[in-house]
Chain A
């Protein structure tokens, strides 16, 4: 079993829909990242969380440390949100900022 499990693996939505991507993990963490990878391959860090909730524009990320679970929400989805979303964590006790990655969720938003 992977330390980081994401669901769903693939998600297709219509423009305007509310989207949720889930991430469950099995280890204690120092921080959790939500990353976005576009078709060209470049990766952008959307959020870094260690507790609670963060919001940036149409994106919301939440984390429940006790339940070892995080969610990424996209409100009013748009075709330009189509990308792979990756949950990555820094396990507690890990040296430096070494990340452990989930398998990613391929999101396709159709117009």
Chain B
């Protein structure tokens, strides 16, 4: 089946620094990718939709200047958390729709800890 990878799988950074998370579709092309955030004991919350060749679409309440999304190619989307704060510590997951209609594949997630 289709595979989506994320890198890094975990990262610890100091408050005020920026962190980049990569999401790659390994064996299929994805013109759209979704970025989610998940806090402990909670479900996934959609942050933004990444669109290849155009600007990302952000959900209400998500700061576009803080969470920069770049869909660089048909297989790569990146999420950069800028000026990270401890409250940004969370589990970030990406997903990409597959060729089959309505199917989606999820990345393994990136655990971000901001100290």
Given that A41-B91, A43-B93, A48-B102 are contacting pairs, would A96 and B32 also be in contact in the complex, using a CB cutoff of 8 Å? Answer: yes
Tell whether, in the assembled complex, residue B106 and residue A45 are in contact, meaning their CB atoms are under 8 Å apart: yes
Tell whether, in the assembled complex, residue A41 and residue B43 are in contact, meaning their CB atoms are under 8 Å apart: no
The distance in angstroms between the C-alpha atoms of A99 and B49, with both chains bound, is 11
Task: Specify which chain A residues have a CB less than 8 angstroms from the CB of B8 in the assembled complex.
Answer: none
Task: Specify which chain A residues have a CB less than 8 angstroms from the CB of B42 in the assembled complex.
Answer: 103
How big is the A interface, by class? 20 to 34
Residue B44 is within 8 A (CB to CB) of chain A in the complex: yes
A4 to chain B, nearest CB (A): 9
Chain A residue at minimal CB-CB distance from B10 = A41
The distance in angstroms between the C-alpha atoms of A17 and B107, with both chains bound, is 31
Tell whether, in the assembled complex, residue A99 and residue B108 are in contact, meaning their CB atoms are under 8 Å apart: no
Interface string of A86-111 (1 = CB under 8 A from B): 10001000001111011110000000
B92 to chain A, nearest CB (A): 10
Task: Specify which chain B residues have a CB less than 8 angstroms from the CB of A43 in the assembled complex.
Answer: 44, 93, 95, 106, 109
Tell whether, in the assembled complex, residue B105 and residue A45 are in contact, meaning their CB atoms are under 8 Å apart: yes
Residue A30 is within 8 A (CB to CB) of chain B in the complex: yes
Chain B residues engaging chain A, CB cutoff 8 angstroms: 32, 34, 38, 42-46, 49, 91, 93, 95, 97, 102-106, 108-109, 111
Extra inter-chain contacts (6) besides given A45-B105, A45-B106, CB under 8 Å: A41-B93, A90-B102, A97-B97, A97-B103, A98-B46, A101-B45
Chain A residues engaging chain B, CB cutoff 8 angstroms: 30-31, 33, 35, 40-45, 48, 50, 86, 90, 96-99, 101-104
